[in-house]
Structure 1
Amino acid sequence: MADSVLIEGLVVETVVGVYDWEREVTQNLVVDLEMAWDNTVPGRSDDVADALDYAAVSARVESCLQTLRPKLLEHGAEVLARTLREEFGIKWLRLAIRKPGAVPAAQAVGVRIERGEKTETGVR
């Protein structure tokens, strides 16, 4: 089993960056998440209590990054991944954070990390 829950294109407005001017304004970050989750139980029960609450995960992503106000996207990704895994019991996740407009010639710059272990038979 390799089930997952996706949250894609979540926009979070926060302070981010290393330059002095960046510490005085908010900018948008775009977050994509893929989280290992056994979807067979909620798939059978049709009960939201059995599912990973993506609204709660999304709210936690927003509050984490807004409180953290990271200088580096790498730091934001590490803290966010650890927070989500601990608070929601997510065994594996793939996380991307992009910063649109950071480089004029690019649509966005960003980082992507994977944390935990995902196996063919599920997650450990």
Structure 2
Amino acid sequence: MTDRITLTGLRAHGRHGVYDFERERGQEFVVDAALELDLTPAARSDEVTDTVHYGELAERLVAVVTGEPVNLIETLADRLLAVCLADPRVARATITVHKPEAPVPHAFTDVAVTMTRSRAETGERAAGPRQQTPGNGGAW
């Protein structure tokens, strides 16, 4: 698959982290999402209903970041991937979660986790009925 929709630098305030102070204060997280899907139907019809609406995708991703706290950004990335793969048109998705304010006692620019999953790798989760994930309200 060579067609891709990319959403880069989506920012949201979340309360994820292992330490109490991370949960109390929260911090900014930055999300990059890349979706691989066939964009031919949208290109031919010129209708937003034939593609993934990136504005709606951004809303669902932000709802996860601002929602229920998790300890690890790996867990957060997995939840964000579930949102991306909930649309049956998405064959593969890559999520990068940046935590630029991570509690690292040295000068650094960024800490990030990148995860990629395909519909085939997710098995029943993607092939079965669409799961309701935190923040997606069950609707596309």
TM-score range, shorter chain: 0.7 to 0.9
Instruction: Sort the Cα spacing of 1:24 and 1:13 in 2 relative to 1 into closer, same or farther, 3 A.
Output: same
**Structure 1 equivalent of residue 33 of structure 2:** 33
**Residue 35 of structure 2 contacts residue 84 of structure 2 at CA under 8 Å; is this kept in 1?**
no
Structure 2 SS opposite 1:82: helix
Letter in 1 for 2:71: K
Greater share of strand: 1
Q: Which runs of 4+ in 1 moved over 3 A?
A: none
Partner of 1:85: 85
| Number of residue pairs the alignment of both structures matches | 117
In the other structure, the counterpart of 1:106 is 108
The answer to whether the Cα contact below 8 Å between 1:68 and 1:76 also exists between their aligned partners in 2 is no
Deviation readout 1:4-26 (Å, 9 max, x if unpaired) = 10000000111111111111012
**Which SS does the other structure have where 1:68 is aligned?**
coil
Question: In 2, Cα distance between the equivalents of 1:26 and 1:58?
Answer: 20
Q: Measure, in 2, the Cα distance between the counterparts of 1:107 and 1:13.
A: 18
CA distance in 2, matches of 1:96, 1:68: 18
1:66 aligns with 2:43: no
Report the aligned-residue RMSD: 1.6
Correspondence for 1:6? 6
Higher relative CO (CA 8 A, sep ≥ 6), structure 1 or 2?
A: 1
Identity across aligned pairs (percent)? 31
Tell me, yes or no, if the aligned pair for 1:36 and 1:91 is still in contact at 8 Å.
Answer: yes
